[in-house]
Structure 1
Amino acid sequence: MILRRDTKEDDTVIAMLAAALRRDISFGALLPDQKLKLQSLRARYGGSNHSMRETLRLLTAEGLVEATSQRGFRVASATEDDVRDILMVRTEIEKLALGLALEHGDVAWEGRVIAAHHALRKAETRVAETTDDLTAMEWDEACRAFSYALIDACGSPRLIDLQRKLYNQSRRFRLALLRERRLDFDGRCARQQTLVDAVLARDSNAALAALEDDIKSELHPDI
């Protein structure tokens, strides 16, 4: 009898481990350039050697973890050059995807954008008053949902996949700005309202300009 591993079960474990590591990288519990040793990670998060190694390979493909020359792993760096590079590429990817969504999106898509924007406004109001971990996580999720809603009618699974990878790479920079109280929530509110109004009006030039301003404001407000 040939024993086969339960692929579905393995995939579920890897997905859970990846979500936990993404969260801790984003919130700074795992620091930039920190070495990631299998035994230490297993003691902290669980899983087998196989599942943890596959998790690290997945996060390496997403740009959150780097494989070292000695076949080890470490958290990806988070330098000024890193944030500028992510900002540049993410802006171009999202502008391309939003332009396609404006061409192809229907009324249902507009409704999803409005709903995600409404949820984000509520989350931003809460996080502007208090920045405990739970509120910050809820805000981060609302930011993610709004960003995804804007492009989900673009019709390109590859563009969506690229946007999600870049968005995950950018999370720790946005959350660092939140912890440092460097986010201008009034300005963000105005920019996001301008963006939604332009989307609903199908004003491509205004929407793309507003999107670029919004991404810059949440990643590098000093640019």
Structure 2
Amino acid sequence: MIFSAKKSEDSTIVELLALSLRRDIAFGTLLPDQKLKLNELRTRYGGSNHSMRETLRILTSEGLVEATAQRGFRVTSATEDDLRDIALVRVEVEKIALSRAIELGDVAWEGRVMAAHHALQKAEAALRDAPDDLTALEWDEACRAFALALLEACDSPRLLDTHAKFFDQSRRFRLALMREGKLDWAARKARQKALLDAILSKDKARAIELLQADIEAELKPK
């Protein structure tokens, strides 16, 4: 029992550390290609050497961090080629998952999609009216929740895991556009409403077309 409790405590610490580093990579606090030194990370985020190494191992498996031979860890690059590749994978994976979700989803799923859409619209309005770190973080989480809600009825944990991995890799590109004032809020709102309507009407072809357009609007190199 003692060993079990310790393992649970360590797991919780690692989860919290991973959450903090994911956020700071997404928001550009930790920059692309930046070296990640254990002592500096522990000073900044806390945790032990073991918990920080485990955190970096998890983020490496998610594609947010790279392990370099004999050189430790660094934040993954964020080039136009990276952007193109992430967009390609997200489009293909999410098209399959959304198609299955529309086929398999029930009324309860539709209700969760509607709720997530409503929450996203409120978060976007709050960010436009009062842009700061808090509203940006809430908006980022609402984007994630809406993207997941669209796909969660696909009945494939592996599709959802792959979606989560590449969605996290795409976050910093979308957040960079937001910080630079390059997001077309009106166009986003129209696409998301049209996507919701297509899902509720079971128009699979239209929903997939709109989903692809929504991903590519933020992840195609400009």
User: Contact between 1:102 and 1:204, CA under 8 Å: does it hold in 2?
Assistant: yes
Aligned partner of 1:9 in structure 2 is 9
Where in structure 2 are the equivalents of 1:58-69 lying within 5 Å? Answer: 58-69=58-69
Q: What displacement does 1:71 show?
A: 4.9
Q: Which runs of 5+ in 2 are unaligned?
A: none
> What is the rounded CA distance, in whole Å, between the counterparts of 2:74 and 2:62 in structure 1?
13
Q: 2:125, 2:24 → 1: CA distance?
A: 24
Extract unaligned runs of 5+ from structure 1.
Answer: none
Runs of 4+ in 1 over 6 A off after TM superposition: 2-5
Find out whether 1:166 has 2:171 as its counterpart: no
Q: CA deviation at 1:130?
A: 3.0
Distance 1:4 1:137, change over 3 A: closer
Q: Alignment partner of 1:152: what SS? A: helix
**Which residue matches 1:157?**
157
SS of residue paired to 1:41: helix
Q: What's the secondary structure of 1:6's corresponding residue?
A: helix
Counterpart-to-counterpart distance in 1, 2:3 and 2:20: 29
Q: For each residue in 1:98-131, what CA deviation from the matched residue of structure 2 results, as whole angstroms up to 9, or x when unmatched?
A: 0000110000000000000001111111112332
* 4-13 vs 185-194, which moves further: 4-13
SS in 1 for 2:181: coil
Q: Distance in 2 between matches of 1:45 and 1:71?
A: 21
Match of 1:118 in 2: 118
The aligned residue for residue 97 of structure 1 is 97
Percent of aligned pairs with the same amino acid: 64
Residue 221 of structure 1 deviates from its aligned partner by 7.3
Q: Partner letter of residue 212 of structure 2?
A: E
Moved more, 16-25 or 123-132: 123-132
Counterpart of 1:18?
18
* Superposition deviation, residue 60 in structure 1: 0.1
SS of 2:74 mapped into structure 1: strand
Equivalent-residue separation in structure 1 for 2:41 and 2:128 (angstroms): 33
TM-score (norm 1): 0.96
SS at match of 1:31: coil
Q: Within 2, Cα distance between the matches of 1:139 and 1:218?
A: 15
Aligned residues: 221
Q: How does 1:35-184 map to 2 (within 5 A)?
A: 35-184=35-184
Q: Does structure 2 conserve the Cα–Cα contact (< 8 Å) formed by 1:131 and 1:179?
A: no
